[in-house]
Structure formats: structure tokens, C-alpha cells
């Protein structure tokens, strides 16, 4: 099985050594995305809802660069700074996955990179 690094300029570059994603066969493994605005490199303003929206837009860009999309996501892992914001995060998440949401695990973390409120990683199949 071939392994290919995924890179797109549509998301801010990572400040740590990682690939934005890896395509292995018919699967795309997207690294955790933060709510960083690609224009400014700063966290989206407006709290958990704005950050979740930006996270999912960044995730969509990485998946697209790997030949997939959000509608082909089968599993996500969500890391949150405060599970007390879960309902607000879910409201935005449901906009992006309205009918058949992926399998999912959600954790509360002591702290996320850049003091982000949310980070999401995904596994998706490649578009046919």
C-alpha cells in the first residue's frame, strides 16, 4: 500500500513536525485541525462555535487535498478544552454532518495547542 503525504496551503501550516494528512490506499487520515483562520493564522474569534466552524473548514480542505471530503468521513476524534461547551460545538458539528454523522469519540483535555477550544481529527475514505 502506498503512503502519500497530504498538504494544502488552504490551512495554516503546523508549528510542529507533522503531516496535515496521509493518504494510504483508499483512506485519508487527517491530523487534528484547530480553528486557525488561514488568512491570519490566529484562532477564529467568537468562541467555541466560530472555532468549530473553522476547524471543520480546515478539515474539509485537508480531506479535499487527499481526494476525499467531509461526507466520506467515517470516524472523528474530538478534543475539547471544556465539555461544558459540548452543546454549542455539537450545534455546528451537526451543520456539517446533518444526516449520517461519523463514528465519534470526544475527550476533554487539560489544554490544547494555542489555547484552542476544540481540535478534530478524521479518517475518511477516498472519493470514488
Chunked into runs of 10 residues, the chain (128 residues) has average pLDDT values of 94 90 97 96 97 98 98 98 98 97 97 96 90
pTM beyond 0.75, yes or no: yes
Kindly report the CATH number that applies to the domain delimited by 3-125. 3.30.1330.40
- In sequence order, the β-bridge partners of residue 3 are 24
- pLDDT recorded at residue 92: 98
Domain boundaries, the chain: 3-125
- Report the pLDDT value the prediction gives residue 128, as an integer from 0 to 100: 65
Let me know: does 78 contact 51? Beta carbons within 8 Å: no
Closest CA to 127 of 77, 71, 76: 71
CB 73 within 8 A of CB 122: yes
Spatial contact of 30 and 66, defined as CB atoms under 8 Å apart? yes
Amino acid at each position: 500500500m502506498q503512503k502519500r503525504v497530504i498538504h494544502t496551503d488552504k490551512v495554516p501550516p503546523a508549528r510542529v513536525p507533522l503531516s496535515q494528512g496521509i493518504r494510504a490506499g483508499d483512506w485519508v487520515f487527517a491530523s487534528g485541525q484547530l480553528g486557525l483562520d488561514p488568512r491570519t493564522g490566529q484562532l477564529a474569534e467568537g468562541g467555541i462555535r466560530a472555532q468549530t466552524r473553522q476547524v471543520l473548514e480546515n478539515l474539509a480542505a485537508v480531506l479535499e487535498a487527499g481526494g476525499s471530503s467531509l461526507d466520506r468521513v467515517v470516524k472523528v476524534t474530538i478534543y475539547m478544552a471544556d465539555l461544558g461547551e459540548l452543546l454549542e460545538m455539537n450545534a455546528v458539528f451537526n451543520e456539517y454532518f446533518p444526516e449520517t454523522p461519523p463514528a465519534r469519540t470526544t475527550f476533554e483535555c487539560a489544554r490544547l495547542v494555542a489555547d484552542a477550544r476544540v481540535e478534530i481529527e478524521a479518517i475518511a475514505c477516498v472519493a470514488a
